[in-house]
Amino acid sequence: MVRQLKWRYLGIAVPMVLIATIGWGSDILIFRKHLSGDLLVRHRIYVHAIWLTYLLAIVVPPGSPPRQFSPDPELAKVCTFCRKCNAVKPPRAHHCRVCNTCVLRMDHHCPWTNNCVGHRNLLHFVRFLLSVVVGTSSVFWNLCGRIRVLWEARHQPVYDDDVSLSEIIATIVLTPISFFVIFTVGLLTIRTLWNLCENVTLIETWERERVEGQIRRGRLAPVEFPYDLGGPFDNLFASLGPVWRWILPWTEPQGDGMHFEVNEDASRSTIWPPADPDEIPPYQYVERQIPAKDVSSRSSSTGSISASAIAAPYFNERAPRATQHLYASEATDSEADDDDADPNTYWRRDKWRSWEGERLEDFGVDVDAEIYHRTQGSEDFDEDEENVPLGVVKRKLVVNGMRRSTEGVEVI
């Protein structure tokens, strides 16, 4: 379960203390005296690999969309608009409320690296998890060997040269700590690898669970997740690139983090996640040609728009309310109870919780940068800038649209 920490740099301090305690503490107090030369060298390689991969997971940025990003006509159909960055947001990108920027193929904001896991540093994060599991498992195995030796020598005096009191204390302390690290990081590693085999991010697993629940309730028409290519190896190659990139510590996944292959059940114009029937959908960037007469009139009035056709981002229309209830009989009792209690609130992206109790903001997503809620007159409408109707949003951004028109792009 992902949770953000109150003190950001505490998330880095805790892993550093654990790595130093388990890696260096076991080396100085136990292994240096008892391990053979090759095993000791292997242990130190594991420790340095953990430090290196952890450093890269911290310092390598996850990647953000270019500020002057202008999508091609095919990509424009699935792009959205981030109101915090005031820029186009490619598919699978989200605005991180901690890093305060849009992140390409955002998986989640990791509190233990104080960094988002995104397109550029995904491989570094995976290498860090694997190095921790492998290195700590090696430490745990050697510590269990020392426990067996100490148990066999339990009748010897503590001042024996081969068995010291500091070694006994270190073994007793480090063994459960290393097991705890293996268990917790191992679960995260399994979850991450499982998601990679399905070509899905941690945020998208949350979205899929929510969408599937709405489909069962008949609120949404059946829709397939577009990025699952079928086989686990196909998904791994699509997520991480070829195998040689997995091994070299300085490599990053291939691609630009904005164009993704989709499966045969979806098209490149498939928007994920689908628009919620009870909410104004996210800003959507759509390729549109302005009629020549409009261009001419605007050009004469502003003098800043050429007479040629211009591709402009604009807000999509409010999604129609779902009317089919073919799948309502398949809904679970818990879903029915919660949905009937407040159907207009339960399924909203800023309110809904997964079966683990996770909300979208727990992954670091700034929901306010992507979502505007219902029309004026609903119970959630207020006059601040967080929840405003679509018409008000359009009017408020008209000034920004005029400024962007000087660059050849117009917001309508």
Q: Report, as residue numbers or ranges, the catalytic residues.
A: 110
CB 16 within 8 A of CB 51: no
Report d(CA 135, CA 23) in Å as an integer: 8
Across 281-345, the runs of DSSP E, i.e. the strands, are 284-285
User: How far apart are alpha carbons 254 and 239 in whole angstroms?
Assistant: 8
CA distance 58 to 60: 6
Take residue 27 and report the two structure tokens written for it.
């080396």
List the structure tokens of 120.
């550029």
The 3-state DSSP class for residue 265 equals coil
SS3 (DSSP) at 284: strand
> What distance in Å separates the CA atoms of residue 36 and residue 285, rounded to the nearest whole number?
62
- Backbone CA torsion sign across 265, 271, 274, 275: negative
Strands 87-89 and 79-82: antiparallel
Cβ neighbours of residue 138 under 8 Å, at least 6 residues apart? 42, 43, 46
Please give the span between the terminal C-alpha atoms of the chain, in angstroms, as a whole number: 40
